[in-house]
């Protein structure tokens, strides 16, 4: 599960020979500075945002043109060398963790904005352009790119495509898939291919939903055309305190049931609120069991109408305190804590493991209570922040990695949260992806036939299976080893036993 055991001398010699073979094949295809293989040069690429999982690749290629990308892929395919694509390396599930005998293909140099079409409201950008950079470039036109993962200052659009990234605004504005028109890239064999187009549909099977969220397993993205939407004239955020988790959870469901689709609807529990208040001093209510941030955006008329309806619902659901941001500065201040949940947690604990799963909105209170039970069971604290509007939770389990037993209990705690999520009718990953981190949990969410069908989909794109192998879909052996109770679609064996 963690970094592999040090290979023995024979394996080391074989690896070194293979490395020289790969370097010899790729060196003629790239500028000198664009191919790395000495350890001190490749160590920065040994992991992505999931730092507990590290592996040195044989080499790292940093192509500067599509021609070089194609040539590298062709050469690797001819040698059956695994290829792992990498954007900014901010991923949280190990999707860009290198392969021990593979090439890491960094697309970081593909950072040009190719074209912004104001009338058509599209932006065509290279895959290495940062998510936020797209919105910054579109801002003078009164437009922006809506999906806003919290890492948007650093993450690339190519990475967003790989993960089908979400963010605070996806309840109203959709995921990456809903905001992408076209993905241009290369097959594992180095053949250029385009999925989608600037029209609203293409002939044949719609492959865009397969490619978006494919975690680098089906093709290597080099260029993306995204939709831009008008920047709302106004946004207002309501901060609502609740003295009871269930009331807060019910408020979330009631808002949606009232026909309101907020621009953002986020929740923080009491421990998380304490951690972020200490960090950003935004005036959060430290007495509240849960805080909801509920945002409305649109024209001033729309926002006035919607905020009124939101306040009615929130007070009707028992909010103990309600505050509406009076200006943009205060709105950003309300959000600052939520957006800084991770660094705030980093201050109060030597380490944390950030989980990501989704449950139906109505089960929000149930999963929080289940997590509270798990805190006792595993002897570790967990603070929670949620994209409550989507039922997408991010529990942060606090631990000290210097204590191997704590790390082990933390992993069990995390797996328990994921499997509980599936049992409640949800999924093991809402937006961070499966990568390597959740391979075992995929054994719980999918049957053997479903996993085999997904392997078959993979083989349709990559028959030799050398594009980011070993990620996302677990093998039969792995699932057999994992050997847990099979929790499928809320049906447990021995349903009469109390579990949650």
Partner 1 sequence: MEPALQRLADQVQAARAAKTLLDIRGGGTKAFYGGPVQGECVDVRALAGISSYEPSELVVTARGGTPLAELEAALAEQGQSLAFEPPRFDDGGTVGGMVAAGLAGPARVSAGAVRDHVLGVTLLNGRGEVLSFGGTVMKNVAGYDVSRTLAGSMGVLGVICEVSLKVLPTAPATLTLRLEAEQGAAIRRLNEWGGQPLPLNASAWWDGMMVLRLSGATAAVRAAVEKIGGEVVEAGLAATFWRGLRDHRDEFFVGAAKAVDSGACLWRLSVPATAPPLKLSGEQLLEWGGAQRWICTAAPASLLRETAAAIGGHAVLFRGRDKSAGSFAPLQPALARIQRELQRSFDPDGLFNPGRLLC
Q: Which of residues 325-364 bind partner 1 (CB under 8 A)?
A: 358-362
CB of 337 to partner 1, least distance (A): 21
Q: Which is nearer to partner 1, 62 or 267 (CB)?
A: 267
Considering only residues 468 to 487 of the shown chain, the ones binding partner 1 according to CB under 8 A are: 472-473
Of 20, 21, 315, 447, the residue at the interface with partner 1 (CB under 8 A) is: 447
CB of 79 to partner 1, least distance (A): 21
Q: By CB under 8 A, which span of 78-86, 285-293, 311-319, 438-446 interacts with partner 1?
A: 438-446
The residues that bridge with 130 in the sheet, in sequence order, are 156
Contact pattern from residue 203 through residue 242 relative to partner 1, giving x for each residue in contact according to CB under 8 A and a dash for the rest:
xxxxx-xx-xxx---x-----------xxxx---------
Total binding residues toward partner 1, as defined by CB under 8 A: 97
Q: Which is nearer to partner 1, 118 or 408 (CB)?
A: 118
Considering only residues 353 to 412 of the shown chain, the ones binding partner 1 according to CB under 8 A are: 358-362, 387, 390-392
Considering only residues 58 to 97 of the shown chain, the ones binding partner 1 according to CB under 8 A are: none
Of 432, 466, 467, 479, the residue at the interface with partner 1 (CB under 8 A) is: 432
Residue with tokens 């194609």: 70
Q: Is 305 in the site for partner 1 (CB under 8 A)?
A: yes
Considering only residues 91 to 150 of the shown chain, the ones binding partner 1 according to CB under 8 A are: 117-121, 141-143
CB of 41 to partner 1, least distance (A): 32
Residue with tokens 């792992």: 84
Of 89, 264, 433, 470, the residue at the interface with partner 1 (CB under 8 A) is: 433
Contact pattern from residue 269 through residue 298 relative to partner 1, giving x for each residue in contact according to CB under 8 A and a dash for the rest:
-----------------------------x
Q: Which is nearer to partner 1, 259 or 483 (CB)?
A: 259
Q: Give CB contacts under 8 A, 24+ apart, made by 457-466.
A: 457/210, 458/217, 458/218, 461/187, 461/188, 461/217, 461/218, 461/219, 462/187, 462/188, 462/217, 462/218, 464/77, 464/80, 464/188, 466/76, 466/77, 466/80, 466/81, 466/82, 466/83, 466/102, 466/188
Q: Which is nearer to partner 1, 12 or 139 (CB)?
A: 139
Q: By CB under 8 A, which span of 25-33, 63-71, 253-261, 367-375 interacts with partner 1?
A: 253-261
Considering only residues 148 to 207 of the shown chain, the ones binding partner 1 according to CB under 8 A are: 163-164, 166, 170-171, 174-175, 177-178, 187, 191-195, 197-207
CB of 100 to partner 1, least distance (A): 24
CB of 408 to partner 1, least distance (A): 24
CB of 84 to partner 1, least distance (A): 18
Q: Which is nearer to partner 1, 111 or 202 (CB)?
A: 202
SS (H, E, C) the chain: CCCCCCCCHHHHHHHHHHHHHHHHHHHHHCCHHHEECCHHHHHHHCCCCCCCCCCCCCEEECCCCHHHHHHHHHHHHHHCCCEEEECCCCCCCCCCCCCCCCEEEECCCCCCEEEEECCCCEEEEECCCEHHHHHHHHHHHCEECCCCCCCCCCCEHHHHHHHCCCCCCHHHHCCHHHHEEEEEEECCCCCEEEEECCCCCCCCCCCHHHHCCCCCCCCEEEEEEEECEECCCEEEEEEEEECCHHHHHHHHHHHHHCCCCCCEEEEEEHHHHHHHHHHHCCCCCCCCCEEEEEEEEECHHHHHHHHHHHHHHHHHCCCCEEEECCCHHHHHHHHHHHHCHHHHHHHHCCEEEECCEECCHHHHHHHHHHHHHHHHHHCCCEEEEEEHHHCEEEEEEEECCCCHHHHHHHHHHHHHHHHHHHHCCCECCCCCCCCCCCHHHHHHHCCHHHHHHHHHHHHHHCCCCCECCCCCCCCHHHHHHHCCCCCECCECCCCCCCCC
Considering only residues 21 to 50 of the shown chain, the ones binding partner 1 according to CB under 8 A are: none
CB of 148 to partner 1, least distance (A): 14
Q: Which is nearer to partner 1, 26 or 181 (CB)?
A: 181
Q: Is 414 in the site for partner 1 (CB under 8 A)?
A: no
Q: Which is nearer to partner 1, 350 or 463 (CB)?
A: 463
CB of 31 to partner 1, least distance (A): 27
Nearest to 247 by CA among 307, 320, 324: 320
CB of 21 to partner 1, least distance (A): 28
Q: Which is nearer to partner 1, 57 or 470 (CB)?
A: 470
CB of 491 to partner 1, least distance (A): 12
Q: Which is nearer to partner 1, 27 or 457 (CB)?
A: 457
Q: Which is nearer to partner 1, 58 or 71 (CB)?
A: 71
């Amino acid at each position: 599960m963690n970094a592999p055991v040090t290979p023995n001398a024979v394996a080391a010699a074989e690896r070194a020979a293979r490395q020289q073979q790969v370097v010899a094949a790729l060196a003629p295809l790239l500028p000198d500075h664009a191919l790395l293989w000495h350890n001190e040069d490749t160590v920065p690429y040994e992991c992505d945002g999931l730092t507990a999982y590290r592996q040195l690749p044989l080499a790292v290629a940093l192509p500067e043109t599509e021609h070089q990308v194609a040539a590298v892929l062709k050469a690797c395919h001819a040698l059956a060398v695994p290829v792992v694509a990498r954007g900014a390396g901010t991923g949280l599930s190990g999707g860009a963790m290198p392969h021990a005998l593979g090439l890491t293909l960094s697309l970081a140099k593909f950072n040009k904005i190719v074209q912004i079409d104001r009338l058509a409201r599209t932006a065509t950008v290279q895959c290495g352009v940062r998510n936020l950079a797209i919105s910054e470039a579109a801002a003078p036109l009164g437009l922006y790119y809506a999906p806003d993962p919290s890492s948007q200052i650093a993450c690339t659009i190519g990475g967003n495509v790989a993960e089908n990234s979400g963010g605070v605004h996806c309840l109203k504005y959709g995921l990456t898939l809903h905001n992408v028109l076209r993905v241009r890239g290369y097959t594992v064999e180095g053949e250029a291919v385009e999925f989608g187009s600037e029209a609203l549909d293409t002939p044949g099977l719609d492959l865009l939903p397969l490619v978006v969220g494919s975690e680098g397993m089906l093709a290597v993205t080099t260029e993306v055309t995204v939709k831009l939407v008008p920047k709302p004239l106004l946004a207002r955020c309501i901060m609502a305190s609740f003295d009871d988790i269930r009331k807060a959870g019910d408020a979330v469901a009631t808002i949606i049931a009232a026909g309101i689709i907020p621009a953002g609807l986020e929740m923080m529990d009491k421990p998380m609120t304490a951690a972020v208040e200490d960090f950003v001093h935004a005036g959060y209510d430290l007495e509240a069991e849960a805080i909801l941030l509920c945002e409305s955006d649109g024209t001033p008329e729309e926002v006035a109408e919607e905020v009124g309806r939101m306040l009615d619902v929130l007070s009707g659901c028992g909010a103990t305190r309600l505050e509406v941001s009076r200006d943009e500065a205060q709105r950003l201040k309300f959000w600052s804590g939520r957006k800084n949940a991770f660094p705030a947690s980093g201050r109060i604990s030597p380490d944390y493991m950030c989980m990501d799963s989704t449950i139906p909105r109505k089960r929000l209170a149930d999963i929080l209570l289940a997590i509270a039970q798990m805190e006792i069971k595993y002897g570790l604290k967990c603070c929670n922040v949620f994209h409550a509007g989507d039922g997408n939770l991010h529990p942060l389990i606090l631990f000290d990695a210097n204590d191997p037993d704590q790390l082990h209990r933390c992993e069990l705690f995390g797996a328990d949260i994921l499997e509980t999520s599936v049992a409640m009718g949800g999924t093991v990953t809402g937006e961070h992806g499966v990568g390597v981190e959740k391979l075992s949990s995929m054994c719980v969410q999918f049957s053997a036939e479903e996993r085999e069908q997904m392997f078959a989909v993979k083989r349709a794109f990559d028959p030799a299976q050398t594009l980011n192998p070993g990620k996302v879909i677990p093998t039969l052996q792995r699932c057999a080893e994992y050997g847990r109770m099979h929790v499928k679609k809320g049906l447990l064996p021995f349903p009469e036993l109390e579990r949650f």
